[in-house]
Amino acid sequence: MKMTGAQILCESLVKEGVEVIFGYPGGAVLPLYDTIPHYPQLRHILVRHEQGAAHAADGYARATGKVGVCLATSGPGATNLVTGIANAYLDSSPMVAITGQVARPFIGKDAFQEIDITGITLPITKNNYLALDVASLAGIVKEAFYLARSGRPGPVLIDIPRDVFVDQAEFHYPARVDLPGYKPTFEGHPAQIKKAAKLIDEAERPLIIAGRGVVISEGYAELKQLAEKAQIPVITTLLGIGCFPESHVLSFGMLGMHGMAYANMAVNDADLIIAIGMRFDDRATAKVSAFAPHAKIIHIDIDPAEIGKNVRVDVPIVGDVKVVLKALNKLVTSAEHVDWVKCLDSWRQEHPSTEIRDSQGLLPQFVIRQIYEVTKGEAIIVTGVGQNQMWAAQHYWYNKPNSLISAGGLGTMGFELPAAMGVKVGRPDDIVWCVAGDGGFQMTIQELATIVQEKVAVKIAILNNGYLGMVRQWQELFYGKRYVATPLTCPDFVKIGEAYYLPALRVTRKEEVVPAIEQAMEHNGPFIIDFMVEPEENVYPMVPPGAAIAEILEAPKKEVTAWPRRSTP
Amino acid sequence: MATTKHTLVALVEDKPGVLNRMASLFRRRGFNIESIAVGHSELPHLSRMTIVVDGAGTMVEQVRKQLDKIVDVIKVSDITGDNIITRELALIKVKATSATRSEIIEIVDVFRANIVDVAADSVTIEVTGDGEKLNSLLRLLRGFGIKEISRTGQIAMARGGPGSPSVKGGFPRKQGRGEEG
């Protein structure tokens, strides 16, 4: 039976197990929107800005491991997706972005709402397609989903001209893809794994750095087995947080610019680094030439291009983390590194890094810790970028895999709210807290309307310091306290909540924190808490930009007595 | 003289945007490309591309791996140092008067190049060879006054052997697990 392009697309999405589409209609996708209601399996969530659709699909994908789908019209609809696609690309999030395009006869004519979105997204997608023929559409969708989720996951874009949605063809969903140029390697090379096992057996001060690759491959048990079998301390990258329980005796937190001092010191002192599913981002390594100066490095990653890109590697293993670790664990001999672990423990005693000082003022760190206490560590925390992100990473303790979802590589303000929405849609039974700064929150604030309309019970904690906090921190430390373009006059977020028909509270004092969080938890639906936190609080520890990983600035012993705050207009 | 030049050969799908994708990659990652030449291969729907990279400022292995990540790129090999044949073609238009024309023709003969056009005040020379040969000829012709040069960029192939990249069953395969069922 012949079907229209729009029907073929919907049928294909159903075949791929798609349950939800985050989208926004427009002229070029109207034939598709007219078809979607005939597929009740496909829940369409109408966002308020296409960036929100992309972030929501990204959040959904990370929370579920399934491919997230976003949909936009041609031209501005498509370009509004770009930030979200780039964010998914940098953090290896499986996503299929579908855009409408002007009808084929108009392509290349600068027609109304025409933009070359496949050209624009070339460097931020695993692959992209312009579907010029309705007969090719099903095959393209099949390929797109396969590429998005397999190997190192990432976003794939499909651009579909308006008239292709209307054209008709027989629908045959291909059973397999034929991509001779794409064959991800899953099994690590046995000789390399053998070499790695030998290095691990010989090491006196081994250290595991675990990244998002562990989450993607779900290699949690294998990671734990390796750490325990050879008694190897584990630190994680920002996106690796939760892949190893932070309460474990071998867990020593996060490394990097705002990592725990003891984690960074461990990197500096280790004689062997086992890097698992991470890519040596500059925020993790600090000054590359001074990274792990005494260590040999084993690097396990599914993407061969990550090997040797930023740091020299002694034993590269290309493969799926879970599969490689399984093989590696068989070869590694049981060992103890009691002195080394004791050494790390003593560093943790001396440089606690996550201690929250006594303060009269309302500290953002304290807020995060109370969210942890009230949710008993069971929540999924979603953040954008900045101070709020770092405090959420440091002061909530993650024992469940994949319980921190954060804009890592691209560092996108405004990711938090739409992503949290996507997470909650994908994991409706989990508690989802969006931790936002007052700056980032205003970048995608319009999605409050979406979560209300779609009844998505996201709890929102705004750490409101009246500044673009992380930038202000850099200005304080490195630009002589010249706060250029960082003070923010914010709207009344409680009234914003009211205006969007959702309950909101303002918290200004420490003792109000727990009752407010409890009230938010008890409320059956989305909820905003505007925490008026200490305006000039800094994130510590900090490795200054350009410094080596062991050159750590720790929190100065300052006590904030008053609650200095600029008046609102 | 040790050279830092690397020759990469890529087998790519004949699809719109492949060249765009590769060029975009070079630009974005700051890879310094000396030349790139592309044409059909012996396999239907596949093109073979020769890329010359200066390894002095660019991590050649990164270029190879990043190119290999492009879905429409089937295989990339660094064939530098292998026993390879490299060729480039150039068209050179040189100023020529009745006084200098015969001298130019002599030089062209020595280089086994061809004169493909003669005008009142110029001759156009076609020359094929490796980069070194082309440069030597250009050095000699410079004295006469060069009006225009057009070069194709280098193409390369390994000598003898099974062909490069190896082709089995008509279609080369990357290492790894097959496609999903």
Same-fold call for B5-81 versus B86-155: yes
What is the per-residue pLDDT for B29? Answer: 87
Q: Does A122 touch chain B (CB under 8 A)?
A: yes
Q: Work out the angle at residue A493's Cα, subtended by the Cα atoms of residues A489 and A499, and round it to the nearest 5 degrees.
A: 125
Domain boundaries, chain A: 2-170, 190-350, 364-532
Specify the CATH superfamily of domain B86-155: ACT-like. Chain A, domain 2 (3.30.70.1150)
Q: Does A182 touch chain B (CB under 8 A)?
A: yes
Distance from CA of B29 to the nearest CA of A (A): 10
Question: Which DSSP category does A287 fall into?
Answer: S
Token duo for residue A385: 């970028």
B contacts of A176 (beta carbons < 8 Å): 179-181
Which residue is closest to B60 within chain A, CA to CA? A309
Contact B181 A175 (CB under 8 A): yes
A-facing residues of B in 40-79 (CB < 8 A) are 59, 61-62, 65-66, 68-75
| CATH number, domain A190-350 | 3.40.50.1220
Question: Which DSSP category does A511 fall into?
Answer: G
Contact A185 B12 (CB under 8 A): no
Contact A184 B177 (CB under 8 A): yes
Cα–Cα nearest to A277, from A229, A209, A230: A209
Q: What does the buried/exposed string (b/e) look like for B43-71 if buried means 16 or more CB atoms within 10 Å of the residue's CB?
A: eeebbbbbbbbebeebebbbbbbbbbbbb
Are the beta carbons of A256 and A288 closer than 8 angstroms? no
Domain boundaries, chain B: 5-81, 86-155
Domain covering B5-81: architecture: 2-Layer Sandwich (3.30)
Please state which CATH class domain A364-532 belongs to.
alpha beta
d(CA A334, CA A330): 10
CB atoms within 10 A of CB A37: 10
Q: Which residues contact A434 (CB under 8 A, 6 or more apart)?
A: A382, A383, A416, A417, A419, A420, A458, A459, A460, A461
Q: Which residues contact A76 (CB under 8 A, 6 or more apart)?
A: A113, A115
Are the beta carbons of A201 and A65 closer than 8 angstroms? no
pLDDT band per the 50, 70, 90 thresholds, residue B55: confident
Q: Does A179 touch chain B (CB under 8 A)?
A: yes
pLDDT tens, chain A, 569 aa long: 899 999 999 999 999 999 999 999 999 999 999 999 999 999 999 999 999 999 999 999 999 999 999 999 999 999 999 999 999 999 999 999 999 999 999 999 999 999 999 999 999 999 999 999 999 999 999 999 999 999 999 999 999 999 999 999 999 999 999 999 999 999 999 999 999 999 999 999 999 999 999 999 999 999 999 999 999 999 999 999 999 999 999 999 999 999 999 999 999 999 999 999 999 999 999 999 999 999 999 999 999 999 999 999 999 999 999 999 999 999 999 999 999 999 999 999 999 988 898 888 999 999 999 999 999 999 999 999 999 999 999 999 999 999 999 999 999 999 999 999 999 999 999 999 999 999 999 999 999 999 999 999 999 999 999 999 999 999 999 999 999 999 999 999 999 999 999 999 999 999 999 999 999 999 999 999 999 999 999 999 999 999 999 999 998 865 444 444 444 44
The number of angstroms, rounded, from the C-alpha of B74 to the middle of its chain's C-alpha atoms is 19
Are the beta carbons of A186 and A319 closer than 8 angstroms? yes
Are the beta carbons of A20 and A47 closer than 8 angstroms? no
d(CA A306, CA A213): 12
Contact B174 A181 (CB under 8 A): yes
Distance from CA of A181 to the nearest CA of B (A): 4
- Give the nearest partner residue to A146 out of B16, B70, B180, using CB atoms: B180
Strands A527-532 and A504-507 turn out to be parallel
CATH topology of domain A2-170: Rossmann fold (3.40.50)
- Phi first, then psi, for residue A132 (nearest 5°) are -90, -5
User: What stretch of H or E contains A193?
Assistant: helix A190-202
Cα–Cα nearest to A322, from A228, A239, A217: A217
Cα–Cα nearest to A185, from A317, A325, A329: A317
User: What stretch of H or E contains A236?
Assistant: strand A234-236
Which residue is closest to B179 within chain A, CA to CA? A177
d(CA A128, CA A120): 10
d(CA A548, CA A236): 18
Same-fold call for A2-170 versus A190-350: yes
Interface probe with A: pick from B13, B48, B58, B71, most Cβ of A within 10 Å: B71
